[in-house]
Structure 1
């Protein structure tokens, strides 16, 4: 009986461990699914959870909406939820009056988050952390590291394809099911958008499972990593500037936003849904703010323009968030200061690129800095294209920034500033490196000659002590006299006794007095003027010292 109760108690856990649910892993590590199978299960899980979430919100709106909003009843609710799921991947559709392409970027966060979580589960379920090439080159550690890096990049790409391919096929099936006379999704955009989003999310999730972000970034070549990180920094600065600009506009024109909300009178539930829609369109507004700082600005209908140089508006849609638009007419002169923000972002990007991967030459750094501008401009243009679009026909066919204008402006502004700052930063690194090398060489030379100087000092002290013991000099005078007589100055030299003019050789006079025959006597020697006479009064002895005898030896 106890065994049966234990089996009943652990049965739910065992069943859950066998189910292919992301986030739930079993205890049996020997049974692992192939990567394509794990990718298929992850795609199905993402699609099911996403549709369930959107169906819930759509059902709430159907309940709160007046009769007739969903003419088909519950089937219309499910069809609308499926269409919203396609819209979340930025797949447009056509209506009887035109094309709907202005889609909320904030809604894309839902499938992106679900795909990321599903990608993590897929990588763990397929044990991608342990999948390495069976044969690595046995040459050098560098070759082995390069082979391992290439294998990890290939593995990340395979995981992204394993998740993206079935996910795009399922999205194509949903697009065909939701096609009707009123709304017709674009099948090509549906397949492409789902494929790209799933591939990026799956690749990032797999890279995160294999190792930490910093280690995964090192899989890329150093120069490519420097360009990508510096471009991301520049784009992030510009998006932050756009966020600040949109927030300031909403605060300054909050009264107009509230007036538009009161005119619509959506009610409590409708007001919450309207607020949710505006929050989802907030990333679009941030990209528009970035385009505003870049210079080209954006349009809210055909023949309109909102830019630092001036504002020209017509009739705008009655969406409360559009109440934050500035008034038509010329803008104040101080508004042109925002145009300097892309240049500041480019300067930061140039310095960052040099810090990550400095160039050994003066000419290379500015070129790589301008490459950062090219990447930043391309991404800014893509975001501008995604944030804008058409809202039907007539005047609202053009809404948002012009992608090619934003791309060209950001490329030139960020690229030029990044090139200049990268060149200066790289020059400073080379200059400082040269000075450091010179200082180190001088330090090495000083370190090498230090023992010689110390030995010379010790020898001088030893010679002075020996001289003081012998009696050649007094101890007090040893510290005053230099080590060599040539180094002595006039004030350091001792007074030399004067040579006496009446000096005579005493030995010669003694020989003259002795009884030696003149023939045997030596001829008298001439007096020497180079002998110093020092008389000793105590003993009666005469000491002759020749100070220049060393020069004749």
Structure 2
């Protein structure tokens, strides 16, 4: 398909290049975006119908006469109905409707649409359509303006592909009508538009930049919710796939017995295996609903849930042989209910790390909003995976969308709120300590350098010891040595006794001081070389 689209892209430019004065790379030679989208949509429909027509023709040859329509027109009409079913467009039949469609078949048009959208983006040169001149403001405002321009361009590309694709699907729905099946044209238009729009948006955003840059087109909060919802949904789907594989392994004998009852033959067996692979995604979502708690139904009045199983007659599909028997479920199976809480914890951590909240109260709220969005996605998947098969008892097959949405919202939302709040608190504390630590390191380095320079020039001691704190906290090594008493000091008791005796006798006249000698009767209290000495008269109480 890519080669065909490349021929469509290069042929007009080669013709224009032959004209005088026109360059093949000129801006005027670029095909308009709606025209490129129409060509991409038409090629996608053509290639998809060719693939399904080939498979239908093989089945028509191997199947009994008249099972897939009368003649080649009936084969093409059946292929057109399969194409509509690949987009999850239902059919009306006598006495009911068919809504249980294989989700695995949707991968074919999704892949073709993605490839066609990539070609459309290259053909229209969407990179050159971005604004070359941005407002001369701050870099942040320029980045925001460029992001808005990219977002608008991506939306335009999605609509340019989805609009003609939906109109062509309406024509196919009219051609695929017969006496038994009547496609719903409204569902066909909506489903084709939605799938083409989603594929066109993703492919165009991928053309503009890498996968990581695609998420940057969204605001920070929306990006965090989107990634958190995707993580929670992926964990739940992975758990559902593991549960399906374990159930098939435990009930493999019953699955093989149902395959033997059908006895489809070689070609029919391959087609039956392909059909079961296409319905595998539906069954995984059913297991997803089982883990969430509400479970699913195989007909009215039936239930397959962790609380119990009640089944009746089931369709003869070997994959359904993995269903448990009716009755009570072992107690250890209730452990699967813990999976949604684990998914919520992981999603909450992701949301808090992508977009931390400056307030402690907002982070749990964003975590719970992640649970709400996950519940909406789970409800949508539950609605797509189930549906009626005709009328009567098989009018209710699959999980209940609103029950699954409510259960996932509460389970994932509560766990995501708690984990987001704790993670956000840890991130805020880490960021609060980081600036202090980073600012203290340069200060300590500068102080150490100044001390080294001062010690070298003699302004500070080379081996400076830190001053002790409170004197009660000082150790023996931090205290000062005991002062040494000088030899010219007199004993306190002797001086006191001499003073007492001198009061009884007349005091001789003091000798005049000799010039050049210090006076001993004057105590120099400013002399602190040997420590302060406190003179205390021990006999002062006797004189009072």
- For residue 512 of structure 1, what is the aligned residue in structure 2? none
Q: Is the 8 A contact 2:483 2:531 kept in 1?
A: no
Aligned partners of 2:174, 2:70: CA distance in 1, in Å? 18
User: Which runs of 5 or more residues in structure 2 are unaligned?
Assistant: 18-23, 492-510, 533-544
Match 2:265 to one of 264, 267, 270: 267
Paired residue secondary structure (2:487): coil
Whether the 8 Å contact between 1:70 and 1:76 is mirrored in structure 2 is: yes
2-side partners of 1:326 and 1:120: how far apart?
Answer: 45
Task: Using the TM superposition, give the Cα deviation of residue 529 of structure 1 relative to its aligned residue in structure 2, in angstroms.
Answer: 5.7
Structure with higher Rg: it is 1
Equivalent residue number for residue 528 of structure 1: 520
Matched, 1:29 2:20: no
For residue 8 of structure 2, give the secondary structure of its aligned residue in structure 1: coil
Q: 1:179: how far off?
A: 1.4
For structure 1, the 5+ residue unaligned runs are: 1-14, 465-477, 503-520, 533-545
| 229, 243, 249: which one aligns with 2:227 | 229
| 8 Å Cα contact 1:499-1:530 kept in structure 2 | no
Find the counterpart in structure 2 of residue 169 from structure 1.
167
1:103: which partner in 2?
101
CA distance in 2, matches of 1:187, 1:94: 11
Q: Secondary structure at the match of 2:404?
A: helix
Q: How well do the aligned residues superpose, as a CA RMSD in angstroms?
A: 3.3
Q: Assess, with a 3 A threshold, how the Cα gap between structure 1 residues 438 and 500 changes in structure 2: closer, same or farther.
A: closer
Distance 2:6 2:350 in 1: 48
Structure 2 residue corresponding to 1:495, chosen from 465, 470, 484: 484
2:88 and 2:103 in contact (8 A); partners too? yes
> Aligned partners of 1:170, 1:397: CA distance in 2, in Å?
30
Partner in structure 2 of residue 20 of structure 1:
8
Q: Residue 415 of structure 1: SS of its match in structure 2?
A: helix
**Contact map agreement 2:5 2:119 (CA 8 A) in 1:** no
| Alpha-carbon spacing, 1:441–1:36, altered in 2? closer, same or farther (3 Å) | closer
Shift of the 21–281 alpha-carbon distance from structure 1 to 2, 3 Å rule, reads farther
The answer to whether the 8 A contact 1:16-1:24 is kept is no
> In the superposition, relative to structure 1, how do residues 522 and 463 fare at CA in structure 2: closer, same or farther (>3 Å)?
farther
Q: What TM-score, normalized to structure 1? A: 0.82
Match for residue 304 of structure 1 among 302, 305, 308:
302
Partners of 1:156 and 1:203 within 8 A in 2: yes
| Further displaced range: 452-461 or 160-169 | 452-461
Partner Cα distance (1:85, 1:49) in 2: 11
Structure 2: distance between partners of 1:211 and 1:182: 48
Which aligned pairs between 1:83-102 and structure 2 lie closer than 5 A?
A: 83-102=81-100
* Match of residue 395 from structure 2: 397
Q: Deviations over 1:479-524 (max 9, x none)?
A: 99x99xx99977745634311669xxxxxxxxxxxxxxxxxx9666
Alpha-carbon offset, residue 301 of structure 1: 0.4
**Partner residue, 1:345:** 343
Alpha-carbon distance, 1:29 to partner: 3.1
1:71 CA displacement: 4.5
2:281 is equivalent to residue 283 of structure 1: yes
In 1: Cα distance, 2:133 partner to 2:110 partner: 36
Asked if the contact 2:455/2:461 (under 8 Å) is kept, the reply is no
Where 2:309 maps in the other structure, the secondary structure is strand
Cα 1:292/1:495, change in 2 over 3 Å: same
> Where does residue 244 of structure 1 map in the other structure?
242
SS in 2 for 1:358: coil
Going from structure 1 to structure 2, the CA distance change for 1:17 and 1:58 (only over 3 Å counts) comes to closer
Q: 2: distance between equivalents of 1:428 and 1:221?
A: 24
> 1:271: how far off?
0.6
Paired residues of 1:249 and 1:324 also in contact (CA < 8 A): yes
| Deviation (angstroms), 1:141 | 2.0
Given candidates 370, 376, 379, the residue that maps to 1:372 is 370
Distance of aligned partners of 1:32 and 1:230 in 2 relative to their CA distance in 1, 3 Å threshold:
same
* Secondary structure at the counterpart of residue 97 of structure 2: strand
Q: State whether residues 451 and 460 of structure 2, in contact with CA within 8 Å, keep that contact through their aligned partners in structure 1.
A: no
User: Which of the residues 125, 128, 134 maps onto 1:127?
Assistant: 125
Q: What SS class does the counterpart of residue 79 from structure 2 fall into?
A: helix
Q: 1:463 to 1:352 in 2, by over 3 A?
A: closer
Change (3 A) 1:16 1:431: closer
Change (3 A) 1:282 1:531: same
TM-score, with structure 2 as normaliser: 0.83
Name the SS of the counterpart of 1:94 in structure 2.
Answer: strand
Partner SS for 1:69: coil
How far off is 1:337 after superposition?
A: 0.5
Contact in 1 for aligned 2:169/2:189 (Cα 8 Å): yes
The size of the alignment, in residue pairs, is 491
1:465-476 alignment runs, 5 A limit = none
Tell me if structure 2 keeps the 8 A contact 1:164–1:198. Answer: yes
In the alignment, what sits opposite 2:37?
Answer: 39
